Amino acid sequence: MDSFLTITAAILLVGSLSSTASRQFDTECYTANGEDYRGCQNQTSLLGGKPCLFWNETFQHPYNTLKYPNGEGGLGSHNYCRNPDGDVQPWCYIADHEDGIYWRYCDIPTCQMPGNLGCFKDSGDPPTLTGSSQTSNKLTIQNCISFCRKQRYTLAGMESGYACFCGNDLDLRRHGKAPSMECNHVCFGDHTQPCGGDGWVIVFDTRVGACGGNYSAPSGVVYSPDFPDKYGAGKVCYWTVQVPGASVILFNFTFFDISDQTDMVELLDGYTNQVVARFDGRTPPREVVNVTGDFVILYFYSDRTNQAQGFAVTYQGGFTHTHTHTHRQTHTQTHTDRTNQTQGFAVTYQGKRHVDML
């Protein structure tokens, strides 16, 4: 705990916090591949998409409610797009068979994790992101982000599954945003992650998955180190969340995958360093945590074994003169069971894609 106090003291001493743009999240997904999507889109695309089949009527296929009767992967008596098998994005079965394909990816505008800025056309001349680049047959979203972050770029883009581009500016008007489906080539280094397409670049904020950072916007999201890859061994990370004028800061863990009992996340009062909440594999967060005051330190520690995907936590400053926090405190939704299901469920990968892979 010595080093912990020293680092905390250092954070407190320097004390000046970089500001991040204020941002509200209207997303329904916090994972890169939408495995946490529980929304209600029931067709493959909002414009001219195909209707999805009901999961309680797809008994001829590997994913259905008979095989997964307890809501595993979000399946149920509905026809909403889901990603129960750790694919690169939510999908559903459809009625038509075209070239033997009986399922389709869903393009879901509301399912884009914060930090994923979208899918953009890249003509290559000039490239959409003009900084450093590299190619790798082990590319993952996070190793591209890390490559760009280390060189102090704010944006990282992946293309064709193996190419990584860095940059600081993304002219959205010039490079109009494309449907996410254009960017769902799998990353060569992790087949559950989307890494762009041929001539399409998927762009991320390089703060995603950083080990530490400073947040001062009224709301934001913090991802565990290396997200969406598994967090590394022996990580010790601190993030400061200081929201000027806030009387309380609410923390909502929208994704939590830590199986180890020694790996942990803590929330500390930023002034007293008192631990307000502690979560690990045995005691996952079950409800929104509200911390009184305007300054919180988020701490993450991992040991040498049992790495997992980690967490996504949103925070929201509450101000006594408005009533935002009052209404938020009434929600105490838990995501524990979802995380549990996802963990035990990722095994069954084969099957759905069987046909079109032949």
Ligand X SMILES: *[C@@H]1O[C@H](CO)[C@@H](O)[C@H](O)[C@H]1NC(C)=O
Among 61, 67, 191, 328, binds ligand X (CB under 6 A): 328
Tell me the one-letter amino acid at 347. Answer: V
Q: Residue 290's beta-bridge partner residues?
A: 250
Question: Least separation, in Å, of the C-beta of 151 and ligand X?
Answer: 15
Query: In degrees to the nearest 10, what's the CA dihedral of 348, 349, 350, 351?
Result: 80
Q: Is 152 a residue that touches ligand X (CB under 6 A)?
A: no
Kindly state the tokens that stand for 130: 């003009």
**How many residues does the structure list for the chain?**
358
Q: Is 259 a residue that touches ligand X (CB under 6 A)?
A: no
Question: Least separation, in Å, of the C-beta of 326 and ligand X?
Answer: 8
CA geometry: angle 51, 53, 57, nearest 5 deg: 160
Residue linked to tokens 């990353």 = 187
Q: Is 290 a residue that touches ligand X (CB under 6 A)?
A: yes
Q: Is 60 a residue that touches ligand X (CB under 6 A)?
A: no
Report the residue number, 128 or 252, with the smaller CB distance to ligand X: 252
Residue linked to tokens 């803590």 = 266
Kindly state the tokens that stand for 33: 């591949």
Q: Is 270 a residue that touches ligand X (CB under 6 A)?
A: no
Question: Least separation, in Å, of the C-beta of 231 and ligand X?
Answer: 17
Q: Is 340 a residue that touches ligand X (CB under 6 A)?
A: yes
Question: Least separation, in Å, of the C-beta of 113 and ligand X?
Answer: 11
Q: Give the number of residues in contact with ligand X, rule: CB under 6 A.
A: 28
Q: What does the alpha-carbon distance between residue 155 and residue 25 come to, in Å, rounded to a whole number?
A: 19
Among 56, 133, 134, 160, binds ligand X (CB under 6 A): 56
Query: What is the DSSP track for 117-150?
Result: EEEEE--SSS-SS-S-EEE-TT--HHHHHHHHHH
Q: Is 18 a residue that touches ligand X (CB under 6 A)?
A: yes
Q: Is 322 a residue that touches ligand X (CB under 6 A)?
A: no
Q: Is 57 helix (H, G, I), strand (E, B) or coil?
A: helix
Which range, of 91-99, 171-179, 181-189, 208-216, touches ligand X by CB under 6 A? 208-216
Among 26, 99, 333, 358, binds ligand X (CB under 6 A): 333
Q: What does the alpha-carbon distance between residue 296 and residue 350 come to, in Å, rounded to a whole number?
A: 43
* Residues engaged in binding ligand X (CB under 6 A): 11, 14, 16, 18, 42-43, 51, 54, 56-57, 77, 79, 212-214, 252, 254, 288-290, 328-329, 331, 333, 336-337, 340, 344
